Amino acid sequence: MNIGNEMAISQAKMNIELLFKNMVAASNSLLMDSEIQDIMKQRSHDDREVLYRNSRLMRSKYFAVQTSALDNYPNHFITLLNAEGFSFSTIPMEENDEFQSFMRSLLDKERVVRNDNYIKLGEYTHNINFLPYGQLVPFVILTRAYMDFIGGGKSGDIIVGIPESALSDILNGIVVRESIRGYVINERGEILSSTNKADIGTVLPYFAEIQKAGPTDTIEALKFDVIANVSHMERLGWTVVGEVPDKLLYAEIAAVRQWLVYVNLGFIAAFLTLAFWIANGISKPIGKLKRATYEFATGRLDSRVEVSGVDELAMLALKFNKMTEEIGNLVQQVNEDEKAKRELEIQMLYSQINPHFLFNTLNSIRWMAEASKVYNVSKLIASLAQLLRSSIVQKNEIIPIAEELDNIRHYVTIQKMRFAALFVDEYEIEDEVLQYGIPKLILQPIVENSILHGFADISYKGRIHIRAYRHYDNVEIVITDNGVGCDESKLASLLRDKSASSNGFSSIGISNVNERLKLHFGADYALQMNNVAGGGTSTKVKLPILSLQPTTLGMELLKDD
């Protein structure tokens, strides 16, 4: 309210200054009129005809001024007093002499110096018997010397009066509440106009505080329980005062404070609601994730989090679901692998039941054949025993190439006995490669394929040629036969078809050999099978250089530098 009251005081000040400017403008019009100048110079007004003519002329002049400068202020008056004391006024009067005397008293009260050129806004409110009202009406006046601009000197005085109601109407713009009051005071603190007519003519009680205020200021007259906004009009000598009871101001401050409390409580409630909603939106998904994690940790591998939304927690839940699914698949795979491993171990146990008994029995049969001079049977049993020893007793996955070639020779010996020397075997081995390593049972399935499939239904002597040599940083073993061969699609099928296992000694097919080589050494070491011009098949086994060193447990695989 205080800011609004200051703005109202400022507006009232501007309106009062405008009123003063209009009064001055009216006096200027009278001063500048040459006909009025002539009338004011006349020393005698005894001639009735001249007086009548002058009176009519003055009324027309007054009317022109009133309708231009003073039109916004009803019931104003204009009076001209010449040097002889004769007056021309817009106020109807019964006795000119009495009226002239009254007007002279106004000038005396306003302390007008008779012979000086002056312009002055009244310091008092004057009660004038204004006939249109039929009662005494308070006026504020502007007095000014009427100067003879041609002959020089003072010809008389101008008095322009505005009803005090014009000021109080301006002050009413300050009153936005019934208990608020507005005043216009002079330099002595006397009230010239007020929103309460009873105050006119009295001295404002806290004028002493106003004297200490700045041009535009707010004072606290605590002794009188009021707060006032003041604005001084230095040129006019007046001050506009807007008075607000401190109880009203403090009541509004209390109301604003209470309103702010309610607004703050509303904001706090809204903030808490929003915070709860946000916290619930965060904690609820976290709680779901926590429960799912606990369930997963306690063995429920199918535990999943329900995903909703697209925020970070939803992405985390998706990742959790994907992780648990992958872990579940891995656990299932591990369980299946363990189950297969146990079954394989059982099978191995069955197959390895007392291998010494098996070897001892074969040796007994061998010696019986020797004693009976059935040497071919003895040789067959010796080869079979060596093959069984290599496959059952030998635990090392990587064995020397020399040992692998010995196994091939034993295997070929058995097959020659079986197929009545249907084929011959030839070896072209570099001594250097015999010491290098090779995965166990790599060559046997290849040789077996040549015997069982390559020499099937041939009418000529079959031949298997095995060549082993070093080629840069690799060992290459080429097994070539002169069998019937096969087309390219069949060769490709042999390399990839895992179901096409051999029915021979090791039950390991060509495709399994190919997979073992790639698992051990990479795709660059896959088998290479090709048809030989003129008939037959050539299979190349490529190995990295593997140096074997003896250990207490067997053979250790090392890469050759």
SS (H, E, C) 224-289: HCEEEEEEEECCCCEEEEEEEEHHHHHHHHHHHHHHHHHHHHHHHHHHHHHHHHHHHHHHHHHHHH
Reduced to 3 states (helix: H, G, I; strand: E, B; else coil), residue 417 is helix
Q: With cut-offs at 50, 70 and 90, classify the pLDDT of residue 525.
A: very high
Sign (positive/negative) of CA torsion 289, 295, 297, 300? negative
Pair 114, 192: CB distance under 8 Å: no
Q: With cut-offs at 50, 70 and 90, classify the pLDDT of residue 285.
A: confident
Q: With cut-offs at 50, 70 and 90, classify the pLDDT of residue 560.
A: very low
pLDDT at 452 over 80: yes
- With pLDDT > 90 as the criterion, what percentage of the chain qualifies? 17
* pLDDT single digits (tens) 469-500: 999 999 999 999 999 888 888 888 888 765 55
Highest mean pLDDT among 111-120, 286-295, 435-444: 435-444
Q: Residue 532: which residues within 8 A CB-CB, separation 6 or more? A: 480, 482, 485, 538
Q: What phi and psi, each to the nearest 5 degrees, are found at residue 371?
A: -65, -30
- The mean per-residue pLDDT over the stretch 300-327 comes to 76
Q: With cut-offs at 50, 70 and 90, classify the pLDDT of residue 465.
A: very high
Q: Which amino acid makes up residue 428?
A: E
* pLDDT single digits (tens) 47-60: 778 778 888 888 88
pLDDT at 351 over 70: no
Answering whether pTM is above 0.75, one says no
More reliable by pLDDT, 442 or 362: 442
The DSSP 8-state label assigned to residue 307 in this structure reads -
For residue 393, CA distances in Å to 158, 346, 511 come to: 146, 16, 25
Residues composing the chain: 561
The DSSP 8-state label assigned to residue 559 in this structure reads E
Which helix (H) or strand (E) segment is 514 a member of? helix 510-521
pLDDT at 312 over 80: no
- Look at 192-201, 213-222, 316-325, 384-393 and tell me which has the smallest mean pLDDT: 384-393
pLDDT at 269 over 80: yes
> What pLDDT is recorded for position 480?
96
- With pLDDT > 70 as the criterion, what percentage of the chain qualifies? 84
Give exposure, 394-417, as e/b (b: 16+ Cβ within 10 Å).
Answer: eebebbbbebbbbbbebbbbbbbe
